[in-house]
């Protein structure tokens, strides 16, 4: 299958931590050609190969820490003094993700995956791309020991590599994605060039008790995203276990708090704020989806308002992957790849802003 809009008019891109290619799909739609990609997850690398004919060869299936920059340049077909036009990538967010901060060793910055930020800046320094896009979880900007130290080091290394940059947290829903998914984007150019601005929001609405985006064009809702989509039941969509029977009572857009004394439930089943916010969380058809995780627990949503897990075609719509985009492997693998991906539409808007700088 050919990825949407891949014309290559903006130049050659190298992709790190490619995953299933959400960021890369947006980059190609903006006119770049992804010629080389690195991804250690087997199903994700196979998914990239299946959907990106622009690649100069197979995805480099290895840990980026073991991949010399010259191997990336060779895979992209860049010889001599040739340089990539764009470097893109989102180092795994495990050490800094909001959902992982209940682990003290992660809060203290002891997760070895934190070093993957340095893998990105190493390639940036050695490959010398004309422009770059780095994506990560917005919790990397939090004012705590783990995040602050890692973030300050990242920005310092970008500067030392010879690049000017700007950083901003963007909510995917503000750019037409039917999912509230805040992500950090650091974008930049070689020193002396015009630093790009982040893209201007195209939509707006409520997110975490505040207004974001623009007021005159509402966020795309889940019902709008699913419009016209025909799906078939999946065996894994049935919720099982101790709390499965409760899901049917949860109103759309609500979660386990529905069963607390504070909400007036006659025989409370949970203490107030005793569970993670997405426990028994159900989609609201009139709003964007909340953030979809890569590895949710057995009772962690968002669930469909029809009281089941989301089907893969539905999840693709909520991330703005094309309907024809094919994920390799099981449903659990597809969930993992989707939950770790950048929504292609958001990636496209960022790549267009970088391209036009």
- The predicted-structure confidence for 12-52, as pLDDT tens digits, reads as follows 999 999 999 999 999 999 999 999 999 999 999 999 999 99
- The span from the CA of 339 to the CA of 132, in Å, is 23
Active site residue 93: yes
Percentage helix, strand, coil, to 5, in the chain?
A: 35, 15, 50
C-alpha radius of gyration, the chain, whole number = 20
φ/ψ (deg, to 5) at 121: -70, -25
Q: Which class does domain 11-214+343-355 fall in?
A: alpha beta
Assess contact for 178 and 224: CB atoms under 8 A.
yes
Eight-state DSSP code of residue 95: T
Is the pLDDT score of 106 beyond 50?
Answer: no
* Structure-derived torsion over alpha carbons of residues 345, 349, 354, 357, reported in degrees to the nearest 10: 160
Show me where the domains of the chain are located.
11-214+343-355
Q: How many Cβ atoms are within 10 Å of 104's Cβ, its own excluded?
A: 8
Read off the pLDDT of each residue in 315-334 and give the average, rounded to a whole number.
97
Read off the pLDDT of each residue in 83-95 and give the average, rounded to a whole number.
87
Distances (CA, A) of 331 to 234, 246, 275, 309: 9, 24, 25, 11
Distance, C-alpha 84 to centroid of its chain: 23
Is the pLDDT score of 347 beyond 90?
Answer: yes
Read off the pLDDT of each residue in 172-182 and give the average, rounded to a whole number.
97
Assess contact for 96 and 150: CB atoms under 8 A.
yes
Read off the pLDDT of each residue in 78-102 and give the average, rounded to a whole number.
78
Active-site residue, selected from the candidate residues 10, 87, 93, 184: 93
- The span from the CA of 199 to the CA of 195, in Å, is 12
């Amino acid at each position: 299958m050919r990825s949407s809009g891949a014309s290559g008019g903006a130049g050659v891109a190298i992709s790190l931590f490619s995953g299933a290619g959400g960021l890369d799909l947006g980059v190609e739609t903006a006119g770049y050609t992804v010629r080389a990609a690195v991804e250690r997850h087997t199903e994700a690398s196979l998914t990239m190969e299946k959907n990106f004919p622009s690649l100069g060869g197979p995805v480099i299936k290895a840990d980026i820490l073991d991949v010399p920059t010259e191997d990336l340049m060779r895979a992209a077909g860049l010889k001599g003094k040739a340089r990539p036009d764009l470097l893109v990538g989102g180092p795994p967010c495990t050490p800094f993700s909001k959902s992982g901060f209940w682990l003290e060793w992660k809060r203290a910055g002891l997760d070895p995956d934190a070093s993957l930020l340095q893998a990105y800046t190493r390639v940036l320094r050695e490959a010398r791309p004309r422009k770059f896009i780095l994506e990560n979880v917005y919790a990397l900007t939090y004012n705590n020991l783990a995040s602050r130290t890692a973030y300050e080091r990242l920005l310092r290394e970008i500067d030392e590599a010879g690049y000017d940059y700007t950083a901003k947290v963007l909510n995917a829903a503000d750019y037409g994605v039917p999912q509230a998914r805040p992500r950090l984007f650091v974008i930049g150019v070689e020193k002396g060039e015009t630093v790009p601005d982040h893209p201007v929001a195209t939509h707006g609405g409520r997110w975490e008790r505040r207004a974001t985006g623009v007021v005159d064009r509402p966020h795309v809702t889940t019902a709008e995203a699913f419009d016209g989509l025909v799906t078939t039941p999946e065996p894994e969509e049935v919720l099982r276990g101790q709390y499965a029977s409760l899901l049917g009572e949860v109103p759309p857009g609500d979660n386990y708090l529905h069963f607390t004394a504070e909400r007036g439930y006659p025989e409370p089943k949970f203490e107030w704020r005793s569970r993670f916010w997405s426990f028994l969380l159900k989609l609201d058809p009139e709003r964007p989806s909340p953030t979809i995780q890569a590895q949710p627990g057995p009772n962690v949503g968002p669930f469909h308002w029809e009281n089941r897990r989301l089907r893969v075609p539905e999840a693709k719509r909520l991330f703005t992957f094309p309907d024809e985009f094919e994920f390799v492997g099981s449903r659990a693998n597809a969930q993992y790849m989707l939950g770790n991906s950048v929504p292609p539409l958001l990636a496209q808007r960022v790549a267009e802003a970088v391209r036009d700088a």
